[in-house]
Amino acid sequence: MTADWFGTPMVPLAGGYGGETFLVGGGDGDELVLRIYSRHPERAMVDASLLRLVRGILPVAEVVDVRPAHDGHPGVLVTERLPGKRLGLMMPSATAEQRVEVGRNLGRLLATLSGIPMPRFGMFEGADLGLSADAPAVDLHSWARHYRDTSRLGGWPDPDWRGLLALVAEAEERLAGDHPAGREVEPGFVRFVLAHSDFNPKNLLVDPENCAITGLLDWEFAHAGSPYTDLGNLTRFERHPDFVDAVVSTFVTHAPKLGADPLGLGRAVDLWALIELVGRDRLNAVGELAQDLLLAQARAGDLSAWPWDEPRRDPTATGA
């Protein structure tokens, strides 16, 4: 479907799930990206401020125009179009060398994000990026219980639910610094940083020639959170050992101080997202995969459990 923006052709961009992002222009190399914030109108001003804050530090688009929501009209954000290929389109045919190189570059990007400190946990509010005092739940157990009581998680058989609760308890112990095996370790959740919170192949642009990261897109879920959030998100459905090893080793080398097991901490933090995805009223492709993954983890009692034969799953692929 093609629409128009004040007479300029407007074409939906692939890669996301919200249907709110469009390419504006005639294909002459100076196209712009238009984001219409119908679902969360207030995020237009937040996202514009975030892009301006980190531009020059992270590979983000320049803000061309932003319009706040008013009189029932959604907020609108217009940015430049960044070069590069979506990582999700590159990974299926990537060589081992390319996976390692792009993994290293992503590890550096994660390290940069984890070096942008925040005073506490919170969602951003307004153009000045204030932090909300509201929290989704007091802890991960309460979060899981909420979705058990109000969503499709209520339909899980009792053994699977008990398995999930055991997994939640393990995750909370890891994040608090109490190793499940009784070995004392440093707390994993020791500081708050800028978390993108949708750091995955559909929102990452890569130069296919040199594997440089050319764009980090879609900041609508960004918040002040854990330094392990984005690592957990990135490796949720990407499990090539060479790729994951390159990401984690580079992240550890370049990031400020981290806990003893960043990947395990990333998996622990990612339970918040997996539970929310599985608990939605209607499951899209990523929700279906999240349900398969979370069930496998709960049944195995293992945060690193993986229910598929292949080392990656792509929620944007047909039949995923």
Least confident of 167-181, 256-270, 291-305: 167-181
The four Cα atoms 21, 289, 163, 240 give a dihedral, to 10 degrees, of -100
Paired sense of beta strands 130-131 and 32-37, if any: unpaired
Contact assessment for residue 212 and residue 246, using Cβ atoms and an 8 Å cutoff: no
Of the CA atoms within 13 Å of residue 311, those in its CB half-sphere come to 11
Mean pLDDT of 308-319: 83
Nearest to 315 by CA among 280, 294, 290: 290
Contact assessment for residue 124 and residue 223, using Cβ atoms and an 8 Å cutoff: yes
Beta strands in the chain (DSSP E): 3-5, 8-12, 21-24, 32-37, 63-67, 75-80, 85-86, 117-118, 122-125, 130-131, 192-195, 204-206, 213-216, 223-225
pLDDT in tens, 40-60: 899 999 999 999 999 999 999
Least confident of 13-17, 91-95, 248-252, 299-303: 13-17
pLDDT in tens, 138-167: 899 999 999 999 999 999 999 999 999 999
pLDDT for the residue numbered 278: 97
52 φ/ψ angles, rounded to the nearest 5 degrees = -70, -35
Cα(159)–Cα(142) distance, rounded to whole angstroms? 19
pLDDT for the residue numbered 105: 99
179 or 232, greater pLDDT: 232
Domains of the chain: 10-80 (3.30.200.20), 85-300 (3.90.1200.10)
**Is residue 3 over pLDDT 80?**
no
231 or 27, greater pLDDT: 231
What is the SS3 assignment for 108? helix
pLDDT for the residue numbered 6: 56
Neighbours of 204 (CB within 10 A): 28
Cα(238)–Cα(92) distance, rounded to whole angstroms? 11
Q: Quick one: angle between helices 140-150 and 158-176, nearest 10?
A: 160
**Is residue 91 over pLDDT 60?**
yes
